[in-house]
Structure 1
Amino acid sequence: MTTTGSLHSWDVSTGVDGPGTRFVAFLAGCPLRCQFCHSPDTWYRRSGHPVTADELLREIRRYERFIKVAHGGVTLSGGEPLQQPAFTREVLRRSHEMGLHTALDTSGFLGDRADDDLLSAVDLVLLDIKSGDPATYRKVTRTGRLSPTIRFAHRLAERGMPIWVRFVLVPGLTDERANVDAVAAIAEDVPTVERVEVLPFHRLGAPKYAALGLPFPLADTPPPGTATIERVRDQFRDHGLTVY
């Protein structure tokens, strides 16, 4: 019996959510309320539409040959896909059985919900580390704690699973040197981290907040300048990490 999930949308993209050209499914629902979130329309399960794993796999199969030729795969993103672990598990497992590379894009906050069967169907984890300092993490996410992400990262490493760490650089929020070094120290301590992606903050999601009648917390925050971006990348490199 196939499972049913809440799907916000899907897209086919290159070079953003894992290697190669990928079918990216954005699931609806997320426990965090990150100040820099550019997709507030994915916060609630009700923001998506019901879809069975069979239906989503049918869409994936339409692109199967193209994805394989482009050395890509399937990525489940969100929202937070681990808020729907049964659905996520089935889609990843069946994608894996098709011979497609699979990636899970998660904050790790709900990492305890990912059982071994789910993780066995994952080739790569895109792990969003919002902050390296617990107090800053709470400020950034407004609802979350850092420790579940660290615990999840070490569990992945124990399984030998490749990890790409993602860090959103926000002026005045996550850009302090001590915070960046703390994120780098977390990544450095996880032996299967292959790379760190420094993602400069942007305000492209502002219209979504306006459409939902929500205030955008960072409406007056500028994107980081080139010098700040390079300084942060150098901090990660100083910890022996490969940086993009």
Structure 2
Amino acid sequence: MIRVHSYESLGTYDGPGIRLVVFLQGCNFRCLYCANPDTINAKGESKETAPEDILKMAISQKPFFGKKGGITFSGGEPTFQAKALIPLFRMLKEAGIHICVDTNGGIWNEDVKELLSLADLVLLDIKEFNDARHKILTKRSNAQTLKTAAWLEENQKPFWLRYVLVPGYSFFREDIEALGDHFKDYQSIQRIEILPYHTLGVHKYEAMNMEYKLKNVKQNTPEQLEEAKALFEKYFKTVYVN
């Protein structure tokens, strides 16, 4: 069984085309800006769901996917439930449905390896390139995330690199330049997505009696987003602000 938090039909922000987005329960990171704090706990208020039910939903929505669309697994952290997802991924492939995994890349084992091998596209979230700042932002190291990126490159697995631009936490010229220098020769990176920092999940913290740690952080200005885009464009050709 798969622990599902929620679904989004006709999604256009999590991978190419129109997609069914499945938000899964459980996460190994503790990002200060997490927009879905209710998905962090391994159980939460999620519903145990049979793989066949998700497959049925994806097949029913397939007419809307067009040539580019498909299903995206987000969270939480999808690889948190890698073992349970593998049979579903195999069924989705047999049904000809494009599979996308949105991951922080921070979990690695044989199940994760198989899961990412079955995926058509990986959305890899690099929270910060500087490990010390990454630990402040997520309470975890980025070492495995960078190893996961290297594995994707070695295995010619297409991926999008996603970067949330948080003023004072992940918006440092030297860190973006270091990231660009590290990844500039990767052939498997299809695009860079800059995700503007937002506070859409703050009401969830209030409802859960949790303190939102970044309440004094302001959302990005258009000028900041342009500056970040220009920095990334020094190293990559396809840079988008999502």
TM-score by length of 1: 0.93
RMSD value over aligned CA atoms?
A: 1.4
Extract unaligned runs of 5+ from structure 1. none
Partner of 2:47: 49
Tell me, yes or no, if structure 1 residue 11 matches structure 2 residue 8.
Answer: yes
The aligned runs of 1:87-236 (5 Å cut-off) are 87-142=84-139, 144-236=140-232
Partner of 1:29: 26
Partner of 1:66: 64
Cα distance in 1 between the residues matched to 2:77 and 2:11: 21
Deviates more, 1:180-189 or 1:229-238: 180-189
Conserved 8 A contact 2:180-2:236:
no
Using the TM superposition, give the Cα deviation of residue 45 of structure 1 relative to its aligned residue in structure 2, in angstroms: 2.0
Distance 1:191 1:71, change over 3 A: closer
Cα distance in 2 between the residues matched to 1:102 and 1:119: 10
Distance 1:79 1:63, change over 3 A: same
Extract unaligned runs of 5+ from structure 2. none
Conserved 8 A contact 1:124-1:162:
yes
Using the TM superposition, give the Cα deviation of residue 85 of structure 1 relative to its aligned residue in structure 2, in angstroms: 0.7
Cα distance in 2 between the residues matched to 1:116 and 1:206: 34
2:59 is paired with a residue of what secondary structure?
Answer: helix
1:74 is paired with a residue of what secondary structure?
Answer: strand
Using the TM superposition, give the Cα deviation of residue 63 of structure 1 relative to its aligned residue in structure 2, in angstroms: 0.9
Cα distance in 2 between the residues matched to 1:116 and 1:107: 14
After superposition, the C-alpha distances for 1:54-101 in whole angstroms (9 at most, x for unaligned) are 12212222212222x363101111100101011222222211111111
After superposition, the C-alpha distances for 1:92-122 in whole angstroms (9 at most, x for unaligned) are 2211111111101000001335444323321
Cα distance in 1 between the residues matched to 2:99 and 2:167: 33
> What is the aligned residue count?
239
Cα distance in 1 between the residues matched to 2:209 and 2:62: 39
Conserved 8 A contact 1:73-1:100:
yes
Partner of 1:82: 79
Instruction: Give the 4+ runs in structure 1 shifted more than 6 A.
Output: none
Conserved 8 A contact 1:188-1:241:
no
Conserved 8 A contact 2:117-2:157:
no
2:236 is paired with a residue of what secondary structure?
Answer: coil
Using the TM superposition, give the Cα deviation of residue 182 of structure 1 relative to its aligned residue in structure 2, in angstroms: 2.3
Cα distance in 2 between the residues matched to 1:240 and 1:216: 34
Tell me, yes or no, if structure 1 residue 239 matches structure 2 residue 223.
Answer: no
Partner of 1:40: 37
Using the TM superposition, give the Cα deviation of residue 200 of structure 1 relative to its aligned residue in structure 2, in angstroms: 0.8
TM-score by length of 2: 0.94
Supply the AA of the counterpart residue of 2:159.
I
1:210 is paired with a residue of what secondary structure?
Answer: helix
Conserved 8 A contact 2:116-2:122:
no
Supply the AA of the counterpart residue of 2:33.
F
